[in-house]
Chain A
Amino acid sequence: MGLPGFYLRRAYSLFRGEVLVLPSRVAVFIFALGVLLLPLFSQDPYLLRILIFTSIFAILAASWDLLSGFTGQMNFGHALFFGVAAYCTALLNLRLDLPPWISIPLGALGAVLAGLIIGIPCLRLRGTYLALTTLAFPIILMGVIFAIPDITGGELGLSGIDRLSGSRLTDYYITSVLMLGLGFIMWKITDSKTGIILHAIREDEVAVRSSGINTTRYKLLAFCLSGFFAGIAGGLYAHIMRTAGPSTLEVALSFQIVIWAVFGGIVSIYGPIAGVFILFPLLEFLRIMPKIRMLVFAFIVLVTLLYMPQGLIPWLRDKIEKECPRCKIRNVTTRKTCRICTAELD
C-alpha cells in the first residue's frame, strides 16, 4: 500500500475518532456530504439559487454568532459588515475591473475596517447600549450612501457587477464550499485558545481582565473577524445579485440575521448555519400559501423558541448527547461512562 495507504488509514482513524464518536458530528458530516452531492440529483436553477443564498446567509449568521454569541458583543446592526463589503466589492469590480476572487476578499477587508471603526467607539459600551449603538451604524451608512449617489448609485445602488462565475452550478459550489470551509474555520476559532478567551469575556469580562488578558484587544479582534466573514458573505451576495443596493444595509436584514441565529441556537456556529438552512428554504416553501406566508413563518419561529429557548440545534443535540460532569466532553446518550475520562455520566 505504501504512503497513500498510510495516509488513508490515518484519515480513517481520524474520521472514526473525531467524527463517528458523536451523533452531532455525524449529522454535520452527512449535511456537508449532502450539500456537495446535491447537484448529482438535481440542478434545477431555482433550487440552486435558493441554496446559493442559503449558503451566503449561513456565513453571515455564523459570523454574527462569532461576535454576539461567543463574545457577547450584542450587534443589532450586523448588516453593516454585509453592506460595506457588498459596496466595496461592487466598487472594486466596477471601477478597477477586479475579478471576483480579488474583489470579494478586498471587500471583506473593507468590512474589517468597518469593524474597527465601529468597534473602537463601541468598546466602552455593553448590553443594551451596545446593541442600540450598533443598530445605528447601518442607518448612518445608508444616509452616507444617499448623500453621495455619484459614487454609491444612491437609492438604486450599483449594478452591472460581474457574475461570480459562468454557471449556476459553479456559483453553487463556490458558495457552498466557502460556507462549509468558513463555517469550519469559525468553529475552530471558537474551539481555540482565542475562542475560550472570547467566551470568557462574554461570561465575566472583569475576571478575564484580572487574569491579565487585554480584553479590549480581543473584543476588537472579534469585531474584525466577524466583519471579515460577514464581508465575504456580502461580497458573494454582490456578485450573485450583480447589484449592491441600500437593501444590503436595511435594519430588517440585521434582525433577520438575529432570528436565524437564535432559531438555530447561538454559541455554536453550526446552530446559526442550520437555522438559515431551515428557515430560508422554509420561507420559499411557504409560497404555497402566499396570503399567510409570513404569519406561518413567524408562528413556526415563535413556537420553536417557546419550547426550545436555546434554539433548535442545541435542543436536538441535548437529546442525543450529554456532557460529562467531570471533563465537560460530550458523549452519546447511550454511553454510561465518559469516552475520555471514564467518569459516570448519569
Chain B
Amino acid sequence: MKKSIFGWSVLMAVCFVMTIGSLAWGADDIKIGVIGPMQFTQGEGHWNGATLAAEEINKKGGIQVGNTWLPIKLVKVDSNEFLSVPDATNAMELAISRHKVNFLIGGFRTEAVLVMQDIAMDNKKIFIGCGAAHPKLCSRVKENYDRYKYWFRVTPINSRYLVKVDFILLGMVAKIMAMELKIPKIKVAIVAEKAVWCDPIVGIAQKNLPKMGMEVVGVWRPSPVATDVTAELSAIQSSGAHIIFTSFSSSVGITFAKQWGELQVPAAAVGINVEAQKDGFWAATGGKGNYTLTINTYARVRITDVTIAFFDKYSKRFKGAPNYTAGTYEAVYVLADAIEKADSLDPDKIVKAMEKTKRLGTAGTLVFDKTHDVTWGPGFVTAVGTQWQNGANKCVWPLNWQNITYEGAVPYVIPPWVVAHYKK
C-alpha cells in the first residue's frame, strides 16, 4: 500500500514538473492574442488577416530575437463585444492572465475597446487596434504617453479622416456628373441610417455641402434594419436629387441598394455602405446594387507593391475579399519588424521601434503619428473608393487625386439610367 502511495506521489510530481515545464517551453514562441467578435464577420477578418501573416512569418522561421528564431503562435480570443462589454473585458483578461499572450491585436466596438485598452495598459501589453475608428483611442496616447504608449492603431484610418474621404468621394462624383450631364448645381439627398454614428456626418453634410456648391434637398433616416425603403426612394426622386449621399453600416445598405437599382432612381449613390464592401453584396442585391460607390480599405489595385499579392492570397484562402479588420495582417508584420529591430521582447523597446515604423503595407505606406495613429494622406494610407461595376467591386478613387492614381483603378461610372434621365 505504502509503495503504491509512493508511486502515485512520484507520478504526480513528474506530472507537475512537466506541466510547469511546458509553460516554460511555451516561452519559446511569441504569443499574439487576436481579440475580436469572432462569431461575426469583423472577428473573422481579424483572425484571417493575422493567420495569413503568422503563417508567412513562421514559414521563414519566425521572428529573430538575438540568435533565436521564435515562431508566432496566435491565440483566438472571442470578445463578444457587440453583445456584452463585460464579456469583452473578461476576454482581454483571459488572454493576458491565462493564455499569457505577449501582444494583442484586434478590437472593434469603441466603448469596449476603451476598457480593453485600459486592461492592456495596466499589464504593459502592446495592443494594436484593428477595428475601432474613434480618435479618442489615440488621443489618450497624447494625453498620457507613459501609460498609453503601448497602444497603436493600424486600421482603419480614424473617423475624422473617414468622413474626409467620404466627402472627397462625394465631391468627385458631383464634379463628374456636373461635367458629363451638364448639371449647373448638384442637388444632394442625404440618406443615413438612424444610428448615432451617422448623426455627425449628417450635421457636417448639411453644413458643408452648400459651401461645396451643392444643394441639400432633404435628409432621410431609415432604420438600420429596414426591409423596405421605397417610400424614401420615391421621395428622393420627387425631390429632384442628383446624388444620394449614403451612410449605412447595417443591412439597410442592401435593401437600399437593391431597391435603388430596381426603381432606377435617377440619382447616383455614393458614401459609406459597409454591406457594399463585402463580396456577398452582388448576390444579396441580385445585381441591382450595380454602380453603388462606397468608401473601402482594400481593393484589388496596386496601392503598394504588396497589395495585389495579399488581396489574391487572402481571397483564395478565405473565399472572399479582405475587409478592413483583416488589417491584423499588417499589425502582425509591424510587430514582427519592431521586435527584430528592438532585438528584444521588452515592450518599451518594441514601442520605440514601432514608433519608427515606415512600412510599405497592403493598404499604403504605414507610418504612425505622434498619437500612435495610422497616418492618413497622400503617400500614406488613404483608404479607397470602390464602385460595383457589373459584378466586380472596382477601385475608382484615388484616380488623379493629389497626383495619386492606384494602378488598376478605373474611372467612376455614372449609372446608365441616370445618364439616360438627364440626357433626354
Measuring CB to CB, which residues of chain A are less than 8 angstroms from any residue of chain B?
44-46, 49-50, 53, 146, 154-157, 159, 241-243, 245-247, 252, 283-284, 287, 290-291, 293
CB atoms of A155 and B97 under 8 A apart: no
CB atoms of B114 and A46 under 8 A apart: no
Indicate whether A291 sits within 8 Å of B90 (C-beta atoms), given known contacts A44-B97, A156-B114, A157-B111.
Answer: no
Which of B90, B114, B196 contacts A159, CB < 8 Å?
B114
CB atoms of B98 and A46 under 8 A apart: yes
B16 at the interface (CB under 8 A from A): no
Q: What B residues does A49 contact at CB under 8 A? A: 89-90, 93
Docked complex Cα distance between A45 and B111 (Å) = 22
Q: What B residues does A46 contact at CB under 8 A? A: 90, 93-94, 97-98
Indicate whether A252 sits within 8 Å of B84 (C-beta atoms), given known contacts A155-B111, A243-B111.
Answer: yes
Docked complex Cα distance between A106 and B13 (Å) = 54
CB atoms of A241 and B94 under 8 A apart: no
Can you list 8 A-B pairs, Cβ within 8 angstroms, ordered by A?
A45-B97, A50-B90, A156-B111, A157-B111, A159-B114, A246-B111, A252-B84, A287-B94
CB atoms of A146 and B39 under 8 A apart: no
> Which one of B83, B114, B134, B136 has the highest number of Cβ atoms from chain A below 10 Å of its Cβ?
B114
CB atoms of B115 and A45 under 8 A apart: no
The interface size bin for chain B is: 20 to 34
Q: How far is the CB of A160 from chain B (nearest CB, A)?
A: 9
Docked complex Cα distance between A312 and B116 (Å) = 34
Which of A45, A243, A290 contacts B114, CB < 8 Å?
A243
- Chain B residues 95-136 with CB under 8 Å of chain A are 96-98, 110-112, 114-115, 118, 134, 136
B197 at the interface (CB under 8 A from A): yes
B85 at the interface (CB under 8 A from A): yes
B38 at the interface (CB under 8 A from A): yes
Docked complex Cα distance between A257 and B76 (Å) = 29
Docked complex Cα distance between A245 and B134 (Å) = 15
Q: What B residues does A242 contact at CB under 8 A? A: 115, 118
Q: What A residues does B89 contact at CB under 8 A? A: 49, 241
The SS class assigned to the A binding surface is helix
Docked complex Cα distance between A287 and B87 (Å) = 10
Q: What A residues does B114 contact at CB under 8 A? A: 156-157, 159, 243, 245
Indicate whether A156 sits within 8 Å of B94 (C-beta atoms), given known contacts A242-B115, A290-B39.
Answer: no
CB atoms of A245 and B111 under 8 A apart: yes
Q: What A residues does B84 contact at CB under 8 A? A: 247, 252
Which of B85, B91, B196 contacts A241, CB < 8 Å?
B85
Q: What A residues does B110 contact at CB under 8 A? A: 155-156
CB atoms of A53 and B86 under 8 A apart: yes
B373 at the interface (CB under 8 A from A): no
B60-98 CB mask vs A (1 if < 8 Å, else 0) is 000000000000000010100001111101110110111
CB atoms of B111 and A53 under 8 A apart: no
CB atoms of B111 and A247 under 8 A apart: yes
Q: How far is the CB of B58 from chain A (nearest CB, A)?
A: 23
In the complex, residue of chain B having the shortest beta-carbon distance to the beta carbon of A154: B196
Docked complex Cα distance between A197 and B38 (Å) = 49
Docked complex Cα distance between A156 and B111 (Å) = 5
Q: What A residues does B136 contact at CB under 8 A? A: 156, 159
In the complex, residue of chain A having the shortest beta-carbon distance to the beta carbon of B117: A159
CB atoms of A290 and B38 under 8 A apart: yes
In the complex, residue of chain A having the shortest beta-carbon distance to the beta carbon of B113: A156
CB atoms of B197 and A155 under 8 A apart: yes
Which of B87, B96, B97, B115 contacts A243, CB < 8 Å?
B115
Q: How far is the CB of B23 from chain A (nearest CB, A)?
A: 14
In the complex, residue of chain B having the shortest beta-carbon distance to the beta carbon of A291: B39
Q: What B residues does A284 contact at CB under 8 A? A: 90, 94
Q: What A residues does B111 contact at CB under 8 A? A: 155-157, 243, 245-247
Q: How far is the CB of A312 from chain B (nearest CB, A)?
A: 22
Q: How far is the CB of A41 from chain B (nearest CB, A)?
A: 16
CB atoms of B85 and A247 under 8 A apart: yes
In the complex, residue of chain B having the shortest beta-carbon distance to the beta carbon of A143: B196
CB atoms of B115 and A53 under 8 A apart: no
- Report the 4 A-B pairs with minimum CB-CB distance, sorted nearest first: A245-B111, A46-B97, A247-B85, A45-B97
Docked complex Cα distance between A156 and B136 (Å) = 9
> Which one of A44, A46, A154, A246 has the highest number of Cβ atoms from chain B below 10 Å of its Cβ?
A46
CB atoms of B85 and A245 under 8 A apart: yes
Indicate whether A241 sits within 8 Å of B115 (C-beta atoms), given known contacts A156-B110, A291-B39.
Answer: yes
Q: What A residues does B87 contact at CB under 8 A? A: 283
Q: How far is the CB of B313 from chain A (nearest CB, A)?
A: 25
Q: What A residues does B39 contact at CB under 8 A? A: 290-291
Indicate whether A241 sits within 8 Å of B86 (C-beta atoms), given known contacts A46-B97, A156-B110, A246-B111.
Answer: yes
